[in-house]
Structure 1
């Protein structure tokens, strides 16, 4: 399995028999074998996670399917599967479990070809010091913890999770809690708004927590790839 970063929260995951693209909205698409199965996942309709042009971009792929959160308003077609939060699906040889976002749409866990991968979409502990009431903080925290309970002790090979510098000193709360809740081998931070230096900051701030986990320098996999 190979990971290639596209942009923001967008990734290409290459398997032996298929490719999966997550949350493409802009950036250069790496070469993709059009003869292999292609699954295009969009976790929600926010403009930094979904681009309606994906249907035109991959129209020449013989075996392309689109796995879209059901908040995305678009005309139904044969190749589209709409996904709800907190559901399980079997699509071809993909075993899929979804979770409810703390913002919009879904997070998604996919098992295929002996690997389990997770893309968090906008499921994160979105808390903003000085910009929320206690009631808003408590509601967000409860919603986030409820989804993390569903992921408790899950064995995950690769997780793509938000690490958002806009949250100030709380930039890493969600990712830290995700790591503490799951048994994840590799983490690819995303949603960084081009501030990739926060990956190094996260590593420096959380050395003990990360002793048994590899944090991928996400942006460095764009030109090459990271093999898992």
Structure 2
């Protein structure tokens, strides 16, 4: 599979293999903005990358827009219901103001997430600490990875 690039569609499953022939399953979800979200199953582990799939609710948008966004987001989260996710990358976007954590909260209500890396916060690293202070109870056993600077590197045993 090295060097192979292929186009994926939302709402599909792809059975792939690594260079040794070990199976990789890629499941795509429809984004609520651009592209797809990806759920990767490999060697008994599951990684979720939300991409632009988020509960994009904004104060300045009309109520109809926010309702449609909520419905679209919930429809995709339903596909993750009951799953155990070893590592997730999920938006935590301070531009959404008081709605900044709705996407992460929605995922945590549907799936058991072991570790989550927030994303979509630009250089507003403070939003991770704010979430931890305001919503720590929502995390349960989920480890919220603390990002403090651009280029930070982790070694994680899944």
Instruction: Give the TM-score normalised by the residue count of structure 1.
Output: 0.64
2:30 is matched with which residue?
Answer: 100
Q: Say if 2:73 is the partner of 1:148.
A: no
1:218 is matched with which residue?
Answer: 147
Q: Say if 2:45 is the partner of 1:90.
A: no
Larger Rg: 1
Structure 1: how far apart are the matches of 2:148 and 2:28?
26
3-state DSSP of counterpart to 1:107: strand
Deviation string 1:150-208 (CA, Å, 9 cap, x unpaired) is: 11111100000001010001111111111111111000001111101100111111121
1:81 is matched with which residue?
Answer: 6
Deviation string 1:97-155 (CA, Å, 9 cap, x unpaired) is: 000000011000001122100000000000101x1112111111110010011111111
Q: Say if 2:50 is the partner of 1:120.
A: yes
Q: What is the RMSD of the two structures over their aligned residues, measured on CA atoms?
A: 1.5
Contact 1:108–1:120 (8 Å) recurs in 2: yes
Where is the helix percentage greater, Structure 1 or Structure 2? 2
3-state DSSP of counterpart to 2:61: coil
Where is the strand percentage greater, Structure 1 or Structure 2? 1
2:129 is matched with which residue?
Answer: 200
Contact 1:159–1:187 (8 Å) recurs in 2: yes
Query: How many equivalent residue pairs?
Result: 152
1:88 and 1:219, CA in 2 relative to 1: closer, same or farther beyond 3 A?
Answer: farther
Structure 1 residue runs of 5 or longer lacking an equivalent are: 1-36, 38-62, 65-78
Instruction: Give the TM-score normalised by the residue count of structure 2.
Output: 0.90
Structure 2 residue runs of 5 or longer lacking an equivalent are: 18-22
1:170 is matched with which residue?
Answer: 99
- Bigger drift between 185-194 and 205-214 goes to 205-214
1:224 and 1:142, CA in 2 relative to 1: closer, same or farther beyond 3 A?
Answer: closer
Structure 2: how far apart are the matches of 1:91 and 1:120?
20
3-state DSSP of counterpart to 1:143: helix
Cα deviation for residue 223 of structure 1 reads 4.0
